[in-house]
Amino acid sequence: MMLSRAKLIRLMAFDVDGVMTDGGLYLSDSGEEFKRFNSLDGHGIKMLRASGVEVAIITGRTSRCVELRAHNLGITHVYQGVERKLDAMLDLLNKLKLSRDAAAYMGDDVVDLCVMRHVGLSICVPESPRLVREHSDYVTQLGGGRGAVREACEMIMSAQGTLDAQLATYLK
């Protein structure tokens, strides 16, 4: 059932802290925020985009480093400082003229449940609280900031039959 849902995905949206990162917040004495992103996750996002799936970020925090990371990965749909994540997802679906069944969201905490319960495919990391795991269609084996995003991207591409073509470009 999860793979049949993954076949329909045209939009994959990610939370940042705890999903694209390990969830740690690094603050300098001057208040500058630092985040650690996983390069394997980033390449998974690039392959997913190349396979025809739109990618978005929807996060409650606002950080310049998220803006820079999104730009580096070619992600143009970036919603930061969002209090009501479902409103952001619905806005994005409207802009892209997609149904809820065509959207996936990957979160890690209870604040993500509002979106996860209203999309076609919900994904979380293993560190997520029990309630979040119970409401997820797929719980990654790898942790947030440690390959979970790549795992989710590859799962979707595999279900859609595009993963082998993406990987084949590296075997020439």
Q: Which domains, ranges and CATH numbers included, belong to the chain?
A: 2-168 (3.40.50.1000)
Tell me: pLDDT of 1 over 90. Answer: no
Q: Which residues are annotated as a binding site for substrate?
A: 17
Could you give the percent of the chain with pLDDT greater than 70?
100
Lowest mean pLDDT among 9-13, 61-65, 120-124, 153-157: 61-65
The whole-number average pLDDT for the span 97-121 is: 98
Dihedral sign from CA coordinates of 49, 160, 23, 145:
negative
Give the model's confidence band at 27: pLDDT under 50 very low, under 70 low, under 90 confident, else very high: confident
Give the model's confidence band at 2: pLDDT under 50 very low, under 70 low, under 90 confident, else very high: confident
Q: Which residues are annotated as a binding site?
A: 15, 17, 108
The whole-number pLDDT of residue 32 equals 86
Q: Which residues are annotated as a binding site for Mg(2+)?
A: 15, 108
Ordered DSSP codes for 32-90: -EE----HHHHHHHHHHHHTT-EEEEE-SS--HHHHHHHHHHT--EEE-S-S-HHHHHH
Q: Specify the pTM.
A: 0.96
Q: Assign 1 to helix, strand or coil.
A: coil
